Amino acid sequence: MKLFVRRGHRPRQKKHGRSLLTFKGEEGKRPRQILIGVGALLLLLLLMSVFRAEPSLMSSAEVATVHDNGVLRVGVRTDMPGMAYEGEGLEIELAEMLAERILSYDAAWTGERDAVELVPVTSMTVASKLNDGSIDVAIAMMPRNATSAYSYSSAYYGDICRFVTRPGEGGRVIKNIKIGYLQSASTSELYVPTACFSARLSAYLEEHPDDGLITTYKYNEETISYAYASFDELFAALQSGEVDAIVMSDLYLDKYEGTYEFDRSETILGVYSYAIASASTAPALASLGDIMLSELREDGTLDALYQKYGLHPQLESVTPNA
């Protein structure tokens, strides 16, 4: 049998126009109702997951230890205006809120005594105090996910890292110049939060290989870095002309404004996201901090604290300047 295939054009079918989804006017009333309903459902599911998670976390061994001690020991800075300075600041209030939240689950705690013990730390000591158990959590400008040695909450503050120049040179093009930075004191055994400056600079250099940024020099056939052991030495190198620009974050610049003269370059390297940190062996404490921060964002308390302490966090993602 011979099969024949009819060749040619198929009859064109009439296309029926389909109106685009709109949220405007009477036509958009139903889509708006659906969208609001979906949003409410998602919020309900989120709240349900939080309410289920918190009691479970409160039953953890690390929370039991806090209850046995009768206080949450929180490592805080003492030298960062707006964050933690002279017993006040964003991080101080977060420490107090977290402590009261955890101790409120202890039947023996009546609220008549402080729930928190504020333990002074520096960037050099905070990690060692977490490691040896001197503190339960750190709320001390710890960059989120910087090391697997700790568990972290979500970020409560975003701090812009930028290049800094001498006064009047803020608009200078950051190319073919000498760059100074804070020397990293981190080791394989101990993390130092200010190591984030040198780490961010290294990443920036890899991302901008053709910018001609100079971070080392030769002396007697030895390669020496423009790395300095302290902020004072770093600013001194900038002011003397030993380097043309340095790397620092806005919170530290706020701290040193008035002590040193400088200009903030518009060329940024990225954002450090600071989070509540606990030892990786005590993840429940960081998770409880995360739940607390989520609620503080939702009800506007966190924004109110920023305003109270004159803080301007950069919580959105920022792409380093090209």
pTM, to two decimals: 0.80
How does pLDDT run along the chain (322 residues), one tens digit per residue?
333 333 344 344 444 444 445 555 666 556 655 566 555 555 544 544 444 578 889 989 999 999 999 999 999 999 999 999 999 999 999 999 999 999 999 988 888 889 999 999 999 999 999 999 999 999 999 999 888 899 999 999 999 999 999 999 999 999 999 999 998 876 656 677 888 889 899 999 999 999 999 999 999 889 999 999 999 999 999 999 999 999 999 999 999 999 999 999 999 999 999 999 999 999 999 999 999 999 999 999 999 999 999 999 986 655 566 5
The beta-carbon contacts of 182-190 under 8 Å, at least 24 apart in sequence, are: 182/227, 182/228, 182/230, 182/231, 182/234, 182/247, 182/248, 183/225, 183/227, 183/228, 183/229, 184/227, 185/124, 190/127, 190/128, 190/131
Q: Contact 120/135 with Cβ under 8 angstroms?
A: no
d(CA 238, CA 165): 7
Which residues are paired to 251 by β-bridges? none
Give the H or E element holding residue 246.
Answer: strand 245-249
Helix axes 90-103, 301-308, angle to 10 degrees: 140
Helix, strand, or coil here: 208? coil
Q: Which residues, 6 or more positions from 76, have their beta carbon under 8 angstroms from its beta carbon?
A: 84, 91, 92, 95, 118, 119, 120, 121, 138, 139, 140
- Distance between terminal CA atoms of the chain? 71
Q: Which of 258, 262, 259, 229 minimizes the C-alpha distance to 246?
A: 262
Tell whether domain 31-308 is in CATH 3.40.190.10.
yes
What are the boundaries of each domain within the chain?
Answer: 31-308
